[in-house]
Amino acid sequence: MKRYRITALLLCTLPVFLASCLKQGNMNSDPANSNNVLEFANTGDNLAAAASTYPGFYSDLGVLTSGNSTQFNINVSYSGAGTAPDDITVNLAIDTATLSTYNTDNGTAYVTPPTAIFTFPSTVVIKKGTSMTQVKVTVSNNSSFSYSVNYALAVKIASASTGIISKTFGKAVYAFGVRNAYDGHYSFKGYTLRAGDAAKTGNFTYSDGLDLVTAGGNIVQFGILQVWADLTGVGIGYPILTVNTDNTVTSSSSGGAYNAPGYTSRYVPSEKRFYISYSWGAGPAARLATDTLTFVKAR
């Protein structure tokens, strides 16, 4: 019995001991007692998968025509309790190794843009009494820019005048994309021909419209399939429209679409409208689509 009573006493006192430990643990996790760290805060759309080693963000820079520039922000934060006790000088650098790891983690294929198309300050200051500063990255659409590449800047906090650099958020990947002048959401109507099939032959209006998505400096691609007159999809892949220097349009697709003979496919800038006609398969006497696409709004 004596042994039993000692055991019971120990069991009774164990919760008190654990509660004491938990209280001490809570004190250690109190933000007021935590160290401040220098790190990258959220910017744009959060992109990285849960298993990613580094955070990733995406900025849609909208329409950026040749010869023009635009900007997006990188937020550098002094995170934790309180604000910066003094001015903190933070040095930033491009880190291609981080981008390589990020691509592996997320199954992406981002590349570092050529230096001719971007600039940002390598040194920034978090002012005393504040907790964050914004770095402006300028992106220019010039002869070095390519629409066929997925660009991203992997940036790291290389050093700082004071403070601890975060191991997890001291590096981040900033992807960005731009749109050409033809990108947008369009109304969609037209005429299709499928020889011998009355249901799929005739005029149509697709009430939801369609997106034309940037695929190059002067190229856009349908965001949906071409539709027949009965509004079912045509199985020739997503049509691609290339706007030539004279505003004529060349149509193509993975399923072999080509400009219909005798019709001048074209883009009319003053109307923001495409007039296109293309054929495939057995040819224009058997398979044909003639569409009018009118700009409604940005995507």
Q: Which of 174, 177, 134, 150 is nearest to 54 (CA)?
A: 174
Q: At which residue do the structure tokens 């940005």 appear?
A: 298
Kindly report the number of other CB atoms within 10 A of residue 44's CB atom: 18
pLDDT per position as a tens digit, 40-93? 998 878 888 778 999 999 999 999 988 999 999 999 999 988 899 999 999 999
Whole-number Å distance between alpha carbons of 93 and 31:
29
Whole-number Å distance between alpha carbons of 138 and 58:
15
pLDDT per position as a tens digit, 168-216? 899 999 999 999 999 999 999 999 999 999 999 999 999 999 999 999 9
For residue 92, what are the CA distances in angstroms to 10, 54, 156, 225? 56, 16, 6, 45
- Higher-confidence position of 248 and 9: 248
Answer yes or no: do 175 and 51 share one domain: yes
pLDDT confidence of residue 34: 52
Q: What does the DSSP assignment read for the chain?
A: -HHHHHHHHHHHHHHHHHHHHHHHHHHHT-GGGSPPEEEEEP-SEE---TT-SS-EEEEEEEE--TT-EEEEEEEEEEESSS--SS-EEEEEEE-HHHHHHHHHHHT---BPPPGGGEE--SEEEE-TT-SEEEEEEEEE-STT--TTS-EEEEEEEEEESSSEEPTTTSEEEEEEEEE-TT-EEEEEEEEEEETT-STTSEEEEEEEEEEEEEEETTEEEESS--B-TTSPBPSS---EEEE-TTSBEEEE-TT--EEPTT---EEETTTTEEEEEEE-TT-TTTEEEEEEEEEEE--
Asked whether residue 27 is domain-assigned, the answer is no
Answer yes or no: do 156 and 234 share one domain: no
CATH number at residue 168: 2.60.40.1740
* Residue 14: pLDDT over 70: no
CATH number at residue 210: 2.40.128.420
Q: What percent of the chain has pLDDT over 90?
A: 81
Answer yes or no: do 108 and 163 share one domain: yes
* Residue 29: pLDDT over 80: no
Answer yes or no: do 225 and 253 share one domain: yes
Q: Which of 34-38, 113-117, 149-153, 182-186 has the lowest mean pLDDT?
A: 34-38
Asked whether residue 261 is domain-assigned, the answer is yes
Asked whether residue 222 is domain-assigned, the answer is yes
Q: Which of 166, 195, 18 is nearest to 80 (CA)?
A: 166
Asked whether residue 8 is domain-assigned, the answer is no
Amino acid found at 235? G
Which residue, 132, 162, 179, sits at the end of a domain?
A: 179
Both tokens assigned to 58: 């995406």
pLDDT confidence of residue 51: 80
Rg of the chain on CA atoms, in Å = 29
Q: Which of 150, 208, 149, 147 is nearest to 183 (CA)?
A: 147
Q: Which of 161, 9, 7 is nearest to 87 (CA)?
A: 161
pLDDT confidence of residue 127: 97
pLDDT confidence of residue 49: 79
pLDDT confidence of residue 75: 96
> What is the total count of domains within the chain?
2
pLDDT confidence of residue 250: 98
Asked whether residue 112 is domain-assigned, the answer is yes
Answer yes or no: do 102 and 143 share one domain: yes
Q: What percent of the chain has pLDDT over 70?
A: 89
User: Domain span at residue 137?
Assistant: 34-179
Kindly report the number of other CB atoms within 10 A of residue 102's CB atom: 26
Asked whether residue 207 is domain-assigned, the answer is yes
Answer yes or no: do 171 and 197 share one domain: no
